[in-house]
Amino acid sequence: MVAYHNLYLALSVVLFTIGAIGAITRRNAIVVFMCIEIMLGAVNLAFITFGRANQSVDGIFMVMFVMAVAAAEAAVGLAIFILMYRKRGTINVESFNLMKW
């Protein structure tokens, strides 16, 4: 049987890179949010791949933890975006300077 672990890890690296580049270069907060979710999915794929390569269930436990964090992030992040849109009328990342007086 051929081990495809390297291909899965390469896919994980590609997805993480796409997510990181998108999170850095985009201005729309929703797109940045989706890029962060792509990065979390890439990390989950890497955890599953390492777990399968080592024949361990530790990767699945880490994936469940990351999915719980991603769900909480989605709920809080979308609530923040709604409040920002109500206050500013846009969700452009560059217009969010709430830390300034």
The domain spans of the chain are 5-90
- CB atoms closer than 10 angstroms to residue 90: 14
Give me the pLDDT at residue 40, please: 95
Q: How far is CA 99 from the centre of its chain?
A: 24
Bridge partners, residue 28, by sequence? 92
Kindly report the pTM of this predicted structure: 0.84
- Topology given in CATH for the domain delimited by 5-90: Helix Hairpins (1.10.287)
The tens place of each residue's pLDDT in the chain, 101 residues long, gives: 457 889 999 999 999 999 999 999 988 888 999 999 999 999 999 999 999 988 899 989 999 999 999 999 899 988 988 888 888 888 887 777 665 65
Burial of 12 by CB count in 10 Å (0-12 exposed, 13-18 middle, 19+ buried)? buried
Give me the pLDDT at residue 22, please: 95
Q: How far apart are CA 31 and CA 78, in angstroms?
A: 12
63, 49 Cβ separation under 8 angstroms: no
